[in-house]
Chains A and B, each alone.
Chain A
């Protein structure tokens, strides 16, 4: 089966750095996605990791360790607009769809 765990809520202040962790247990592995979802809006793609290591994209970075079943999303220089839910997702066994974690709601305060 598939199991994805991430913290339910996190808080941080503007300008800070926050790391959102995700652990997963899957029958197979085809890569891991991070999506951002603002309240009342659709999820939007942030990153995709299929190999171990760090992928950097502006203020956001995503890390993957396949041997540990672990990923994190790193957000630097936090802004108020980063307040959102961050969804970790991995493939189902057939590789035909994504299984999402329950999401981490990040609140950024001034």
Chain B
């Protein structure tokens, strides 16, 4: 019973392509997040959604578009992939919208490699 799941686990693609990463949580949480972890292991918030509504967009290029069809899912679509997009992308969820005070549960990560 995986609490937060992501697909795919690995994604290798060419520059300029468009790709999507899917995330699902079965914890009944109201808030979901996308983080990017670069090669130096720095984990940085990208987006936060609460009950399908966008709360945070941390100066992420508009090539990245999150979509939340329902509160259990938060997918990430990336257009026109660039070399600098290579990273591990983590999805996470928490019960409360104030993610600062509530434990976040992370998915296993998607390692994206752009060639």
Contacts and interface: CB of A to CB of B under 8 A. Distances in A.
A37 B42 CA distance: 12
Contact of A97 (B33, B42, B90, B107): B33
Interface stretch (B64-72, B79-87, B92-100): B92-100
Nearest to B43: A100
A48 interface: yes
Contacts of A43: 43, 90, 106
Nearest to B44: A100
Given A42-B108, A96-B56, A97-B56, A85 B98 contact: no
Q: For the side of the interface on B, what is the size category?
A: 20 to 34
B55 A102 contact: no
Interface of B: 4, 33, 40-45, 48, 55-56, 58, 90, 97-101, 103-109
Given A98-B45, A102-B40, A103-B42, A31 B108 contact: no
Nearest to B58: A97
Contact of A96 (B55, B107, B109): B55
